[in-house]
Amino acid sequence: MTTLEPFGARLRRAMDERGPLCVGIDPHASLLADWGLNDDVAGLARFTRTVVEALADRVAVLKPQSAFFERFGSRGLAVLETAVVEARERGALVLMDAKRGDIGSTMAAYAATYLDPASPLFSDAVTVSPFLGYGALRPAVDLARENGCGLFTLALTSNTEGQEVQRAVRADGSTVAATMLGHLAAENAGAEPLGSFGAVVGATLGDLSAFDLAINGPLLAPGIGAQGATPADLPAVFGDAVRNVVPSVSRGVLRHGPDPEALLTAAARFADEVRKAVDQPGL
């Protein structure tokens, strides 16, 4: 199988052409109920198919949250497998939100699940957790590079509990989050137009000027919409790195379903608002 063009290059082009937006596919029970669907595999499949058919040929990135499919066992994973294939066929980049992190052969198995073209869950990128040590992610880093995929490593998440780990100070005086950002910058060194190794940085965190976000890679920014952040907040949070931000919206778009046109309209509105915010003069 031919190796894909590096993820960073494909992401940059997709955001330029389709708008800088990632839409989460989060079929949690309350959202299924809001759509008038049962909390079962049939409801899951209907929800997922509607989102993919409405958005996959128009938005840059779709981000299925694996947990909401895993809770239905093998039948839920079958729905996820179909969604990944169909979304990619329609032109969307698929970012699997799985937040995997382990060591040795286990990490290699997680990497193969999402980053090996032979896998039924092969995705363009996957979220990973580095808190067993960044070096433990090496199997995923290497396989992503080999197959033209990307990683989004947790760095500065928006949940308050994350601060006790991410903002902890190491013996050398740097925070854990800053250390992770430094590793990612090293992975992306020399990449053009954008590196493939990104960080997850919450859009609700306010001023992050104490952290060097210039990693030459994408910054996945959850928190737009229902969690309280707006596209207009992005320049203040991300500063000079704002053009590499991939804002992630889930409920802010999904609550407009099950009408496909309403889903598309909501996604297009967010993408337009983000584009206007990040293209402000002087950034």
Catalytic residues: 99
- CA–CA gap between residue 135 and residue 33 (Å, rounded): 42
Strand partners, 200: 154, 220
The answer to whether 217 and 194 have CB atoms below 8 angstroms apart is yes
How far apart CA 107 and CA 79 sit, in angstroms, is: 24
> Do the beta carbons of residue 152 and residue 198 sit within 8 Å?
yes
- What is the spatial distance between Cα 265 and Cα 57, in angstroms, rounded to a whole number? 13
Handedness of CA 175, 241, 91, 186 (dihedral sign): negative
C-alpha 223/C-alpha 205 separation (Å) is 9
Q: How far apart are CA 179 and CA 98, in angstroms?
A: 22
- Looking at residue 160, what DSSP letter applies? G
